[in-house]
Amino acid sequence: MQKITSALVSVYNKEGLSPLLNLLHRHGVRLYSTGGTREFIKSLGFPVTAVEDLIGYPAVLGGRVKTLHPIIFGGILFRRHQPEDQQQVAQYNIPPIDMVVVDLYPFEQTVAAGASQEEIIEQIDIGGIALIRAAAKNFHHVLVVSSREQYATVQTILQTQHCHTTLEQRKHYAARAFDITSHYDTAIFHYFNRTEQLPVFKQSIRQVQPLRYGENPHQRGYFFGQLQNMFEQLHGKELSYNNLNDIDAAVKLIAEFGETPAFAILKHTNPCGVATGTTVKEAYAKALKADPVSAFGGVLITNKPIDLATAKEIDNLFFEVLVAPLFYESALPVLKTKKNRILLQQKPTVLPEWQFKTLLNGVVMQQRDAKTETEADLKVVTRRAPTNEEIKALLFASKIVKHTKSNAIVLATDGQMYASGIGQTSRIDALKQAIEKAKHFGFDLSKAVMASDAFFPFPDCVELAHQVGIRAVLQPGGSIKDAESIAYCDAHEMAMVFTGTRHFLH
């Protein structure tokens, strides 16, 4: 146990600081401080020594330099058990500092508020970071409080232990301090790297939500991020790792449809039903027809409010999660009849531009696939051009196949997915799977078009598509045997367009 006899306090945000200062004062702790923090301490009626008086220098350069001085950092880094250190602090009249309390300038908040570059740069804390690092390094002798979030817990410790701390406690707060400083520096790096684009991987997310388990019950899992900024959970059990994976896929898919009322049903991140309609209820009914079996236990999402009529229809299905931008009050009692159903009200959110994941002994990082094909992207490569209706259906199918695990094939009309072939090791097998499912659920494929996430390595896919009545095809092109697929289409009056963009998804 080590007693605190002196403390340096220099904070940006004084909220919640008064009780801690009161406790230190009652235990006779000598306080050192600067600028606004010193004035705040004086306003509470507590004695405080100005850092300027201690070091013999005023704050200079508009307050940029206040605490950066050997007397301050000597007092913090002083190793109490080393004779050489003892001799030097006596020689240079350096008072030991047992506790450092810092709350850094709000750099991230300033950036988020859209401030000017000059304002942002001035919020890069220099002295505060240095104080935190010095105190954390010397945790054997110094307690560091590196954020206002820690004031209350530190106060409880000091009150219980009569202003003493243990080595374990000091080491714990040192770890917290380096978490704070590394996160702060990462945020600054990301600000500068917006323009510099250095190929460096740095991520720091301090908000953590423990999950019930990972992908399977024997695996631990966590979510790092501020999920509350994206959703308000209105009902249901705690989100799981698999729920989050599915929701992520669902959010990306539904964003493809803009303001057109759309509904999607996903299972294991793959769309098993997608449709648009004049109402959400109509879109849901059309989406469900694509695969009502796989929809069981799925994740549902729409881009329009859920009304009472839609809620009554959805209530007939067992599902895990329903995501919508709004739930009408009349709809909620219907949907809340099952206690575990997760209802998420989605807030306006901009998805990150970059995605990353661990791979082998490192990390891979890539830009999010933000390319959505339009009619201008379609290059007609066959004698017959697709009709206007076929073009609409092809573009609709292309939005879905982009979000389906490779190798992927989607069969659809304009506004309704018929079936998909998902995650097959050959493209022809993906098409066979899609055809089988479409027939099983009673769809007439002579009305459907076909979209592929990647090129056809052989003409077998267009041959099979023609055999079941499909007359329009979309693919990126790029195979050395494209000419064979084109020739087959021309021989059988099929229309085919190339997009020039592959959409692998693994």
**Nearest-angstrom CA–CA distance, 206 and 182:** 10
**Nearest-angstrom CA–CA distance, 496 and 192:** 46
The DSSP result for 455-488, as a single string, is --SSTHHHHHHHHTT--EEEE----TTHHHHHHH
Catalytic residue among 268, 289, 371, 439: 268
Catalytic residue among 69, 137, 183, 289: 137
Number of neighbouring beta carbons within 10 Å of residue 379: 11
**Nearest-angstrom CA–CA distance, 60 and 372:** 54
**Nearest-angstrom CA–CA distance, 49 and 64:** 20
**Nearest-angstrom CA–CA distance, 488 and 382:** 10
Question: In the annotation, is 268 catalytic?
Answer: yes
What kind and span of H or E run contains 157? helix 151-160
What kind and span of H or E run contains 315? none
What kind and span of H or E run contains 503? none
**Nearest-angstrom CA–CA distance, 68 and 248:** 46
Give the phi and the psi of residue 34 in degrees, each rounded to 5.
Answer: -130, 155
Catalytic residues: 137, 268
